Chains A and B, each alone.
Chain A
Amino acid sequence: MAVKFFGQFLVENSLVSREALIKAIDLQDQKNLKLGEMAISMGYVTQTEIERAHNAQMSKDMKLGDLLVEMGILTLNQLNDVITRQKNTHLYIGEALVLVGALSAEKLQQYLADFKADQAQYVSERIELPGSIANNLVWEMTADLTYKMITRVLDLQFRPGKCQTVTTVDSNFMMAAMDLSGDVEARYIISVSEAIQKSVAKAILREDTVDDEPLEVLEDTVMEFVNVVCGNVAAKASQMGVIMEINPPVTIHPPATGLSVPTGHTGLCFPIHIGEDNKMELIIFIKS
């Protein structure tokens, strides 16, 4: 029911053992050279030059390859050669499992097809963002996965509204937020009305009624929904080559005047239309 990577799918379904998976991952670690290692093996750079670039990375927020080009150690063509060689020689987890004897080649094809079918529900659909937003594909995927989780986890029917850039977010009954860090920095927020909060609570707690539940539990269910979405967003981001760390969720009780987008951030608001008096929004504050 969640975004998974292939090895996890195999272990969860007892198709390979955890020990076999660890063995296959260790083999991948041995065979799949990192960018610096590959550049050395191709004779483009020396170990000393890689260490110099790693030291420079401490004060510069750049990927190693870009930094090697900027420092004049690699040409752009050489960098592209290294990346191509990395891609062409990459040992995938399925191949590694066959090599360590955990799977036959036939079983691998069958399980890959099963995995593809299992994950088909999370294939992203295109969502349009306004203007030029950095890492737009990540935020489009984030919105798309949020919509999919509203359907699958909350079982709510809705119509997504057009995404807009905002400087202030309208107030609402409550909001649950999670800070995202790593290759991208942002705050992910779900804003809900009182009625939507109860719908979320019913779905998360799997109860027909939540009228007697304390407010603490009701708020916790919205935070848990945010946690589930953001964890799955991080999983999908890692498949896109983007490292995203998540932090424990928090609740926000916005003032009547609304919530201002912090300085140095771009605010995106995705209205989620569920019905009259049922206000729900996905808001993302993206650090510029």
Chain B
Amino acid sequence: MKQKWTLQNVILLALIGVIFSVIYWIMDPVYQIVNSGLAVIGLQAFTNEITLGVWMMAGPLASYILKKIGAGFIGEMLGAAGEMFLGGSYGVGTLLSGFIQGIGSELGFALTGYKNWFAGLWLSTLTGTVVSFGWDLFKSGYIHYKLGLLVALFIVRYLSIFFFSGVLVHLIAKLLDRSKLLSHE
């Protein structure tokens, strides 16, 4: 693992941010559609939990591909900043969410001492869930919810992050690995 950031690393990291800023921006209306669908059956509290995994893909993917300290945090921040500049539905709030989610994802890789990126990825799905959930306890008033609902919300959120920011990210990175496109570095 080379720790120095080269120009090419940074451009690739930023391009990952650009790709996901567009995906995040597309997710804004998707969120609203899912939300109105779930509201009909009274489960709108779960909208955020179900979709959140998509919004957290940039960080783990960046870390897992670039294998550098800070890649996850910066990748997620760039995705969020891009979403804001594109005119996303949460304006400057996106930056704050990106900040929290970025820290959450980065933490998983940090816990392995940036040594085991595979374990780091799965840990990051857990730390990402815990940190973002902790933030929502205060920000979104989850703290007022009953314990049973909280547990259910946490589990759904974890499953979403596990699938999108864990399984899907792993599959993408595996394709990249097998292609050997980055192997000469």
Do chains A and B interact in one complex?
no
- By a beta-carbon cutoff of 8 Å, the part of chain B in contact with chain A is none
- By a beta-carbon cutoff of 8 Å, the part of chain A in contact with chain B is none
